[in-house]
Structure 1
Amino acid sequence: MTIIHDWTPEKAKAFGKENLVFQHGLHERPMFDDEGLARLLDRYPRELLGVFTMGEDPKAWTTWRKGSAGNLSGDQLLEAAKAGRIWLNLRHTNDHVPEYAALCDEIFAEKESKVPGLKTFKRDLGMLISSANAQVFYHLDVPLVSLWQVRGVKKVWVYPVADPYVGELALEKIVLRETAEQFAFDPAWDAGAQAVELTPGTMVTWKQNAPHRIENGPMLNVSISIEFMTPPALMRANVIYANGVLRRRLGANPRVQAGFGPTALGKLAVARGAKALNLQTPHVRHLPVTFGLDAARPGVLVEGA
C-alpha cells in the first residue's frame, strides 16, 4: 500500500518542479500519538533539539528566539508544546532514531518508484512539534522540501521564486550563507502566494527556493519536514553559488541557468573551486539561547536561562 494516495502521471511528472498537494496516510500511524512523540523526544539527541519561540507579527522575523530544553523529559516537552508558544525542531531525525530512518527510506522508495528518473540524496527527515498559533516566518530553503501534516491544522503560503518575493541577489546571499534563511516580508505579497491549508493526511511540496511561511491553527501541530536534493536541484544550488562568487569577485552580472548545459557546468566548476579554496567565508547566524522551559509550569518560558 502506498503512503501517498493520489499519485497521478501529471503529479509524478511535475514533482520537484511545481507546487503540489498530495494526500497521505502517515497520520494514521501510532508512532505519532502522544506516547510515540514523548518517547521520540526522549531518544533524540538533546544537544541537537531546536527549541524556539516567536512573536505574533508575521513581519517581525527577528523575534525568532532560541531556547533550551534543559533536562525536561519527553512528556514534559510535549506538555510544554501543548501549553506554550514554542516550536520544537528535530532535524535529521532519520539519522538518530531507527524507526524514522526506516520511514525515510519508505517515503523515498515510493517517490523514486512513482517519479520517472527521480534520484534523491542528502535526505533530511525532521520532526516538527509546535504549539497552537505558533508560526515560522517568511524564509526559503536551498534544498527541495516537502511538508507532511500529521496532527493539527496549519496554513502555508508559498510564494513565487521571483521579484519582489526573492531576487537573485537575495537568493545568492542565502546560498552563500551570508544571511539567514529568514528575511523581510511584505504582507501585500500574500496576494501572489499559493495558500494551502494542511490537515492531517495532507502534504505539500514546492518549487526549489520558493519563499514560504507557516501559521499553526489553535492546537498542537505535528508535521514531518523532508529536505532532499536531486541532481538538477544540486546543479541549481551550485549555479546560484557560482553566480554569487562571480558577482563578488569579478563584478559580473550573471543569471541562473537551468539544466546541465555548458554554462551551468562551467559554473559548477566555479562553485566547486570556490568552495575548495574557501573564497567565500560563510557568516553563519548562531542564535544565542535566551530562554529555558519550566519543568513545573508547562508552557512557561524562563527568560535568560
Structure 2
Amino acid sequence: MNAHSPIAPAPAQPLFPEDARAAFAAAYPDRPVKLSHRLMDHPLLSLDALAALAERMPADRVEYNLGRMPLGVRPEDTPENGLTLGETIRTIETNGSWAVLKNVEADPAYAALLDSALDEIAPIVARSTGPMLHREAFIFLTSPGSITPFHMDPEHNILLQIRGSKTMTVFPARDEEMVPAQKSEDFHGGGHRNLEWKDSFRARGIAVPLAPGDAIHMPVKAPHFVENGPAVSVSLSVTWRSERSVAEGELHSFNALLRRRGLPVGRVSDRPEEQGLRRFVYRVMRKLGA
C-alpha cells in the first residue's frame, strides 16, 4: 500500500443496490440508464483526499482548465485557469474550474475501490460482451456552473455522482450526423474526444439529472455533454473495455487505413465483435506495418 494513500474500508453492503444492478442488466450495453449507488461518503472521495491524490499523480494523468466553456470548443482553444493542480482542487468551490484525475487505479487504494464496484456487475457484463478488459477509473471535480463540452468516450462507463449535482445530456450512439465515420476513424487513431456541436442536436438528447447517490450507465461512444449545478461536483467514472469495444476500434482503424489508400471502407455493425474476417485482415496488415 502506498504510504500516502488512505485505506479503503471494506463495503458493508453492495455499492450498487439490487434494483440498480437489475436496471443495468436490462440496459447494457447499448442503452443509457440511470442507476443508484452507495459511495457518497467514501473517505477516498473527499476533496482533501483527492487533492493529495492529484499531487502525487504523474502530470500526464491530470487535466484541468477553466470550466465555463461553450458546448462546442476546439481542444486548442480550451482555456487554462492559471492555478496549480492542488490549488485548483482545494479552491474548486470558487475558482470556476474543471479537473479530471485519470487512471487513479494506479494507486492501490483507488484500484481496490474500482474493483469493488466493477466486480458487482462483472457477471452481467460477461453475459453480454464477455469479460471486462482494461478496467480504469477517472475522477471529475467541477466548480459550480461549469460545462464539459460535447464529446464521446471509447469505454463502457458508469459515472457515479458523489457530491453536488449535474445534468448529463446523452445522445444516441452510432448517429453518423453527430459522429461522422471519419471522426470515429480519427478518434480511434488517437484524435480528440470533443465533437462538433450544432444547436439542432439538442432536441435529440436525453437530459439526466444526477444528485449524490445517482449514477448513469453510458454506452461506448454515446455523445454527451455535462452541465454542473450550483455547487461543487465530484464524480467517479468506472470504466472497462470489452471485445465489442475493442472490435469497434479495430474496424474504424481498418477503415482509416483503407481510406488513406483510396480503397472502399466497410460498415461497422452493431456487433463488431462478430466481424472476425475484417478484424483478422486488419491485424495482419498492422503486423506487416501497413
Check whether TM > 0.5. yes
CA distance in 2, matches of 1:174, 1:53: 24
The structure-2 alpha-carbon separation of the partners of 1:174 and 1:148, relative to structure 1 and needing over 3 Å to count, comes to same
AA aligned opposite 2:32 = N
Structure 1: runs of 5 or more not aligned: 280-305
Deviations 1:101-122 (CA, angstroms, capped at 9, x unpaired): 1001111111113445341111
Q: Indicate whether 1:82 and 2:93 are aligned.
A: yes
Q: What is the aligned-residue identity percentage? A: 23
CA distance in 1, matches of 2:262, 2:141: 45
Q: Contact conserved, 1:155 with 1:198, CA < 8 A, in 2?
A: yes
CA distance in 2, matches of 1:67, 1:85: 8
Give the alignment partner of residue 12 of structure 1, picking from 17, 25, 44. Answer: 25
Give the alignment partner of residue 79 of structure 2, picking from 47, 51, 65. Answer: 65
The structure-2 alpha-carbon separation of the partners of 1:163 and 1:9, relative to structure 1 and needing over 3 Å to count, comes to same
TM-score, normalised to structure 1, is 0.80
Deviations 1:152-210 (CA, angstroms, capped at 9, x unpaired): 11111111121322122221221123x42112101221100111111111111222111
1:19 positional shift = 1.0
Q: Contact conserved, 1:61 with 1:137, CA < 8 A, in 2?
A: no
The structure-2 alpha-carbon separation of the partners of 1:29 and 1:111, relative to structure 1 and needing over 3 Å to count, comes to same
Which sits farther off after the overlay, 46-55 or 153-162?
46-55
Q: Indicate whether 1:109 and 2:119 are aligned.
A: yes
Alignment RMSD, CA only? 2.3
CA distance in 2, matches of 1:27, 1:83: 22
1:271 positional shift = 3.2
CA distance in 1, matches of 2:285, 2:240: 23
The structure-2 alpha-carbon separation of the partners of 1:55 and 1:254, relative to structure 1 and needing over 3 Å to count, comes to same
AA aligned opposite 1:244 = A
Structure 2 equivalent of residue 129 of structure 1 = 141
CA distance in 2, matches of 1:199, 1:176: 35
CA distance in 2, matches of 1:54, 1:37: 18
CA distance in 1, matches of 2:284, 2:267: 19
Q: Contact conserved, 1:137 with 1:214, CA < 8 A, in 2?
A: yes
Q: Indicate whether 1:211 and 2:226 are aligned.
A: no
1:86 positional shift = 1.4
Q: Contact conserved, 1:87 with 1:134, CA < 8 A, in 2?
A: yes
Q: Indicate whether 1:176 and 2:186 are aligned.
A: no
TM-score, normalised to structure 2, is 0.84
CA distance in 1, matches of 2:169, 2:284: 36
AA aligned opposite 2:185 = E
CA distance in 2, matches of 1:53, 1:164: 29
The structure-2 alpha-carbon separation of the partners of 1:15 and 1:68, relative to structure 1 and needing over 3 Å to count, comes to farther
Structure 2 equivalent of residue 265 of structure 1 = 276
- 1:200 match: secondary structure: coil
Structure 2 equivalent of residue 222 of structure 1 = 234
Structure 2 equivalent of residue 2 of structure 1 = 14
Q: How does 1:6-45 map to 2 (within 5 A)?
A: 6-7=19-20, 9=22, 11-45=24-58
AA aligned opposite 1:36 = A
CA distance in 2, matches of 1:106, 1:277: 40
Deviations 1:228-262 (CA, angstroms, capped at 9, x unpaired): 2011221122122212222222420321122443x
Structure 2 equivalent of residue 143 of structure 1 = 155
Structure 2 equivalent of residue 201 of structure 1 = 213
Structure 2: runs of 5 or more not aligned: 1-12
Structure 2 equivalent of residue 51 of structure 1 = 64
The structure-2 alpha-carbon separation of the partners of 1:9 and 1:54, relative to structure 1 and needing over 3 Å to count, comes to closer
Q: Contact conserved, 2:48 with 2:90, CA < 8 A, in 1?
A: no
CA distance in 2, matches of 1:47, 1:192: 35
The structure-2 alpha-carbon separation of the partners of 1:123 and 1:116, relative to structure 1 and needing over 3 Å to count, comes to closer
